[in-house]
Amino acid sequence: MTTDASPDGRDADHDADDVEGDAGGPTLTVDELAARAGVTVRTVRFYGTRGLLPPPVIGPRRVGHYGREHLARLALIEELQQQGMTLAAIERYVQQLPAGLSAHDLAIHRAVVASWAPDLVERVTWEELRRRAGRALSDDDVERLAAMDVVRRDGDACLVDLGLLRLGVGLLDVPLSQEAILASRKVLIEHSRAAAHELSQLFRGEVARRDAQDVRSLSAHMQPLVVQALLTAFQRSLKEELRGWASEVGGAS
């Protein structure tokens, strides 16, 4: 799946100036986007020609700039590929997405898709780990990933949890201490397990009064629906908390 045609027909490779994206962060050149996503530049351009990625914003010197939404879309495409979807099926999936989805919205879609993926730990070389991470990893970065149970050393290679790799790499850039990240992970695990247990008990009581056909139907639909409901509810609750936090900080300044 490669082609030399860019989404806008231009060569947007190298010396881009930093500009501000729609979310206030620096945008990426096509090289930087490909590196962050762990794909090739030709793959990024190919996805653009198939309509899987929106065109870049053209900046100074007619260089294309990509943002967080592009990175989130590439992550979603990768997740769909890991689920075994063909390119045609992925195109249909993306075409059905509502217009104007933010990077956060796309991350929720990816999380719902990922909820169907089996736990997958793979033994890879350190070079392959860095390639899949889409960025250079220092020894400190690797230690932080190990502390988050994303990677484990295994002789001259490592065992990597592919379901957690992108999340772990993303957390490397979050301005939080390792202790805070690990404490957050503990909170999320404890509360998600409690929610899963209570929901399981609720559904089990409902299923006990139904026939086998209904049980199979409920089992097939429960996981993605519950995951999406939890993600949406959590995202909205977190927005409210952060909005209140920002108001307190603004009022104190």
pLDDT in tens, 197-206: 887 777 777 6
**Burial (CB count within 10 angstroms: exposed 0-12, middle 13-18, buried 19+), residue 141:** middle
In this predicted structure, the answer to whether residue 11 has a pLDDT above a threshold of 60 is no
Helical segments of 83-211, H only: 87-95, 103-114, 126-133, 139-147, 162-171, 178-207
Between CA 222 and CA 28 the distance in angstroms is: 38
Provide the pairing of β-strand 57-58 with 64-65.
Answer: antiparallel
Least confident of 4-18, 36-50, 70-84: 4-18
Task: State phi, psi for 138 to the nearest 5 degrees.
Answer: -80, 170
Six token digits for residue 155: 């002789």
Q: SS3 for 143?
A: helix
More confident residue, 44 or 250: 44
In this predicted structure, the answer to whether residue 62 has a pLDDT above a threshold of 60 is yes
**Percentage of residues of the chain with pLDDT beyond 70:** 76
In this predicted structure, the answer to whether residue 49 has a pLDDT above a threshold of 90 is yes
Per-residue pLDDT tens digits for 86-131? 899 899 888 888 888 888 778 777 776 766 655 678 898 988 888 8
Is the C-alpha dihedral spanning 123, 126, 132, 133 positive or negative? positive
* pLDDT given for residue 9 in this prediction: 36
Between CA 3 and CA 75 the distance in angstroms is: 20
Beta bridge partners of 157: 154
Contact 161, 124 (CB under 8 A): no
* pLDDT given for residue 47 in this prediction: 94
Is the C-alpha dihedral spanning 132, 133, 139, 145 positive or negative? negative
* pLDDT given for residue 106 in this prediction: 84
Q: What is the pTM of this model?
A: 0.50
Six token digits for residue 40: 């090739």
Amino acid at 218: L
Q: Which helix (H) or strand (E) holds 51?
A: none
Beta bridge partners of 151: 160
In this predicted structure, the answer to whether residue 148 has a pLDDT above a threshold of 80 is yes
* pLDDT given for residue 116 in this prediction: 60
Torsion of CA 234, 240, 243, 244, to 10 degrees: -120
Six token digits for residue 209: 């009064």
Amino acid at 169: V
